[in-house]
Amino acid sequence: MVRTALVTGATSGIGAATVRALAGAGWQVVATGRRAERLDALTRELPEGQVHTAVFDVTDARARDVAIDALPEAFRGIDLLVNNAGLALGTAPAQEAKPGDWETMIATNVSALVAITRRLLPRLVERRGGIVNLSSVAASYPYTGGNVYGATKAFVRQFSLGLRSDLAGTGVRVTSIEPGMVETEFTTVRTGGDKAASNKLYAGADPMTAQDIAATILWVASLPPHLNINALELMPVSQSFAGFQVARD
Ligand code: NDP
Ligand code: 8X3
C-alpha cells in the first residue's frame, strides 16, 4: 500500500529535501509552503502524480483549513505528518529583540504546528501513522539571541513527548528531531535577507545538509512499527559546546 506524507515548509531546505527523500522511497507527498513557484518546481522534478502541492501560510487558520479540506481523495489519508515549517527571526538579545519577531516565531513554530497536528490527528490515529516534529538543539542549549526561538523549539520537543503519552495504545509514533547547524535558507531568513552573514556562518564549518536531516526523517519513518525514536539530536562534528558565561563588574 502506498503511504502518504504531509510535509510543511517544503519550499526550501529540510522540507524540500524531505519531500525528495520520501518520494524517492515511494511515498506520496503533500508538499506545503507559501511560495507556489518553488512547490511547482519541486513537483516537476518528481514522478507525475506523486506530489500534491498545497499553497498556504501555516499561521492563517482559514487558509490551512481550506487547503486540508481540499486535499484530493488520493492524498487525504495522511500516514506521516512532518511539522517542519518554522523560522528564527533575529539574533539580538531579548532586551533588544523586536516583539513582532517573537510573535511571528510563536505563531509559526508553536501555534500553527499544534493546530495542524490537532487537525490531522484523527486521520493519523485511524491509520496508525507517525508525526515528525522539527525541534532544534536550541531547545536544550540556550545561547545569546536564541531566546524565543529556543523556547519555541523547547515547546515542540515537550509537545512531542506529551503526544507520545496521549497517543498510548494508538500505534501512532511521534519523534522530535533536534538538529544543530544545517546549511539552508534558515540564516538568511533569520538575518532578514543577509546572504553574506549566512555564508560567513557556514563557511569552513562543514555544516549538516538538508539531505542529512531528510535521510534521518526517512529512516525514522521507515523503522518497524514497534519502534519509536522519541527524540534525536544531531550536530555536525565541527559544532560542539562552549562553557557558561560570567558577567563581571
Ligand atoms: P528554510 O528557511 O530553508 O525553510 C523553512 C521553511 O519553512 C520554508 O519552506 C518556508 O516556506 C516554511 N515556512 C516558514 N514560515 C512559514 C509560514 N508562515 N507558512 C508556511 N510555511 C512557512 O529553513 P530550514 O529548512 O533550515 O528549517 C526547517 C525547520 O528546521 C524549521 O522548523 C527550523 O526551525 C528547523 N531547524 C533548522 C536548523 C538549521 O540549522 N537550518 C536546525 C534545527 C532546526 P515559505 O517561506 O515558502 O512559506
Ligand atoms: C537552528 C539551530 O543553533 O541556529 O535551530 O539554533 S541554531
- pLDDT tens-digit readout, 153-207: 999 999 999 999 999 999 999 999 999 999 999 999 999 999 999 999 999 999 9
Which ligand 1 atom sits nearest the alpha carbon of residue 182? 40
- What average pLDDT does this structure show over 97-114? 98
Q: Is the pTM of this model over 0.75?
A: yes
Q: Which three cell numbers stand for residue 107?
A: 505563531
d(CA 44, ligand 1 centre) in Å: 21
Say if residues 27 and 1 touch (Cβ distance below 8 Å): no
- Residue 35 in contact with ligand 1 by CB distance below 6 A: yes
Q: Rg for the chain (alpha carbons), in Å?
A: 18
- Residue 137 in contact with ligand 2 by CB distance below 6 A: yes
- Supply φ then ψ for residue 162, to 5 degrees: -65, -40
**Cα end-to-end span (Å), the chain:** 66
C-alpha 181/C-alpha 137 separation (Å) is: 9
d(CA 162, ligand 2 centre) in Å: 23
Say if residues 129 and 177 touch (Cβ distance below 8 Å): no
pLDDT at 240 over 90: yes
d(CA 108, ligand 1 centre) in Å: 10
Residue closest by Cα to atom 5 of ligand 2: 136
For cell 557558561, name the residue: 244
- Residue 184 in contact with ligand 1 by CB distance below 6 A: yes
C-alpha 51/C-alpha 111 separation (Å) is: 26
- What average pLDDT does this structure show over 23-36? 98
pLDDT class for 133, splitting at 50, 70, 90?
very high
Q: Write down the pLDDT at residue 248.
A: 97
Q: Give one word for 33, left, alpha or beta, with left for phi > 0 and alpha for psi -120 to 50.
A: left
At 112, which amino acid appears? A
pLDDT class for 222, splitting at 50, 70, 90?
very high
Q: Write down the pLDDT at residue 243.
A: 87
pLDDT at 1 over 90: no
**CA-based nearest residue to 71, from 47, 92, 94, 54:** 54
Three-state secondary structure call for residue 45: helix
- Supply φ then ψ for residue 54, to 5 degrees: -135, 115
Q: Percent of the chain at pLDDT above 90?
A: 99
C-alpha 140/C-alpha 160 separation (Å) is: 14
- Residue 236 in contact with ligand 1 by CB distance below 6 A: no
| Catalytic positions | 149
Residue closest by Cα to atom 4 of ligand 2: 181
- What average pLDDT does this structure show over 136-148? 97
Say if residues 37 and 16 touch (Cβ distance below 8 Å): no
Q: Which three cell numbers stand for residue 24?
A: 524517492
What the chain holds in terms of domains, given with CATH numbers, is 4-182+211-234 (3.40.50.720)
Work out the number of other CB atoms within 10 angstroms of the CB of residue 36. Answer: 13
Work out the number of other CB atoms within 10 angstroms of the CB of residue 209. Answer: 16
Q: Which three cell numbers stand for residue 42?
A: 519541486
Residue closest by Cα to atom 2 of ligand 2: 180
| Averaged pLDDT of the chain | 98
